[in-house]
Amino acid sequence: MPPRVLTLPRAALDPDRDEARRLLESELADGDYQLRESWLVRLWSWFVDLLPDVSLAGQLPSWTPWALLVLVLAVVAAVLAFATRDRWRTGRLREQAPGRSVLDGVRRSAEEYRAEARAALARGEHGTATLEAYRAITAGAVERTLLQDRPGLTAYEVALALGPVFPGHADPLGRAAQAFDTVRYGSGRGDAGTAQELIDLDAGLRDTRPELAAAPGLAGPFR
């Protein structure tokens, strides 16, 4: 008996155009043919999909694609700004918070701070005079070893440390610290009366003998 010959339908050997296209798409859909597109390519494809249909291009103004591009970029910028707003605000608050050191920047002697406070008051720069006078108080206490010279020393901490050492000036020290923070972190102005009070307070502290036993952990040998 002769061997049996397997015959296939003609359509399987000679598919029409639609069938061939379907078979090709099915083959290309296999994982071996999938390409990994970068995020940039996907982003560009997404943007292109937003563009007007080619069939409508002749009915739209020539500037329409550019206007759409500007709109997309504006939306992206808004999203980024919204996403980073908390970090930006936190950074700004950290910069402006009254936790920075009284004696920041270029360190000077107490006498130099005093001279600048008097000069600023004479020029009518009351805010600067207030700041420099309080810095003179702080630097003077450090020079007399009544105050620990450490980074980040705030106006409030200075008043808190020197209050027990100069009990007769504790209240004026508290008001001086508040004036310093108000000028530096508030309006940035001040007035002549407040500036003069701080200058006089600095002079009064220089002429007052500290009570070291009241704060042995903060004060050193009197000079």
- Residue 71 has a pLDDT of 72
Structural domain boundaries in the chain: 110-214
Least confident of 38-42, 102-106, 160-164: 38-42
| Among 176, 111, 170, 119, residue whose Cα is nearest residue 144 | 111
- Candidates 64, 133, 71, 56; CA nearest to 102 is 133
Q: What is the pLDDT of residue 204?
A: 95
> Which of 3-12, 58-67, 181-190, 196-205 is least confident?
3-12
Q: What is the pLDDT of residue 93?
A: 39
What pLDDT shows up at residue 174? Answer: 95
Mean pLDDT on 99-103: 76
pLDDT score recorded for residue 186? 83
pLDDT band at residue 158 under the 50/70/90 scheme: very high
pLDDT band at 222 (very low <50, low <70, confident <90, very high): very low
pLDDT at 216 over 70: no
Helices (H) and strands (E) in the chain, counts: 10, 0
- To the nearest whole number, what is the mean pLDDT of the chain? 75
Place of tokens 């339908």: 9
What are 5-32's pLDDT values in tens digits? 444 455 455 566 667 667 666 665 655 5
Question: What's the pTM value of the predicted model, to 2 decimals?
Answer: 0.54
E strand or H helix that includes residue 128 = helix 126-143
What contacts 163, CB < 8 A, 6 or more positions away?
169, 170, 173, 174
CA distance 142 to 40: 59
What's the confidence (pLDDT) of residue 77? 74
In this predicted structure, the answer to whether residue 91 has a pLDDT above a threshold of 70 is: no
